[in-house]
Amino acid sequence: MATTDGRKTRIYAIGLSGAPPIRPDIAHMTPEVVAAQSKANREHLIAAGYDYRGMGIHDRGDFDEKFEKIKRELEDFQPDGYFMGFGLRGTAEYSDMFERSVNAGRRIVPHARMGFPPSPDRMAETVERVMSRTGAGQ
């Protein structure tokens, strides 16, 4: 997908990548399942013409270490869309990490559309919906 100036639409996504599920209703979402879904989403979006970058977060300690890198990458990459996975948004124990991520995006890339996939396997679908002219990003 291209922007009006002809460059590829830039997407930056963050999400839990190696954390074991901490909620019983998502026990089937093992790190291996999430990694496979993340890879499939990334490949789909790149094939669709997006300039896609992302950051996998293992757990709270990993987030604290990577948060500064996430902010630098948002500043340098200047994505058109910033997406945060359901593991950050949907897990009460990680609410503060989700809030810090949203607020960093609003501050660093206020022009970026934000999206929040309902599950790891729906990242590409969410990106395409939010970044479309008729999608939630308008």
Q: What's the confidence (pLDDT) of residue 1? A: 65
Per-residue confidence band for 104, with pLDDT thresholds at 50, 70 and 90: very high
Does residue 68 fall inside a structural domain?
yes
Number of domains present in the structure of the chain: 1
Does residue 108 fall inside a structural domain?
yes
The dihedral through the CA atoms of 102, 106, 109, 113 has a sign that is: positive
Residues 115-137: tens digit of each pLDDT? 999 888 899 999 999 999 654 44
Q: What's the confidence (pLDDT) of residue 35? A: 82
Does residue 136 fall inside a structural domain?
no
| Residue positions counted in the chain | 138
Does residue 40 fall inside a structural domain?
yes
- Between 27 and 89, the more confident residue is 89
Does residue 125 fall inside a structural domain?
yes
Give me the domain span that covers residue 114: 10-47+54-76+86-131
pTM, to two decimals = 0.86
